[in-house]
Amino acid sequence: MQLQPHRRDKNSCFGKALSAPEVVDLRKVVRFTLGTIRGIVDPDSYINPEQPQSSIPPAKINTSLSMPFDKLPEDVQNQILPMLGLQPSEKLKHEYAVNAVGKMSQAADHASNLLSAAEQPDAGQ
């Protein structure tokens, strides 16, 4: 129910509370008015309880990347996914493990090549 002031009540406390709620507290005016009515012992029982003040909602943050996600290194992908509230899938974890084994194998080959002689001696000489 929305309360509307009557024209003759324009200058009354009730009318001012409706027209300027930032100046006059409407709850107190209604409580006072109910208290003046004969037969009403507890005016607060007629007034709805106050609703708690809503807090300011958290700010919404938007971030966008304009590069292919799969081209990023695996460690960067693993850092970004939890920030977005996501966990890497089992398929991604498996791909990371396979790629890591391949890179380790390649590193071992390079190390072996560095340790071997630069030129093999010719068997015919």
Q: Which amino acid is at 33?
A: T
Distances from the Cα of 77 to the Cαs of 4, 61, 65, 91, 96, in angstroms?
Answer: 60, 20, 12, 13, 10
Measuring CA to CA, which residue among 3, 2, 24, 21 is closest to residue 13? 24
Question: 111 and 77 in one domain?
Answer: yes
| Residue 52 belongs to a domain | no
Residue 45 has pLDDT above 80, yes or no: yes
Q: Tally the domains of the chain.
A: 2
For the chain, give the mean pLDDT.
77
Residue 119 has what pLDDT?
Answer: 58
Please, which pLDDT band fits residue 125 given cuts at 50, 70 and 90? low
To the nearest whole percent, how much of the chain has pLDDT over 70?
A: 80
pLDDT reported for residue 106: 92
In a domain, 58, yes or no: no
Which range of residues forms the domain containing residue 42?
7-46
* pTM as predicted: 0.33
Confirm whether 28 is domain-assigned. Answer: yes
Q: Is 12 inside a domain boundary?
A: yes
Task: Report if residue 94 sits inside a domain.
Answer: yes
36: in domain? yes
Please write the tens of the pLDDT for every residue from 60-109.
Answer: 888 876 878 878 877 788 788 888 888 876 777 777 788 888 889 999 98
Query: Looking at the domain assignment, is residue 20 inside a domain?
Result: yes
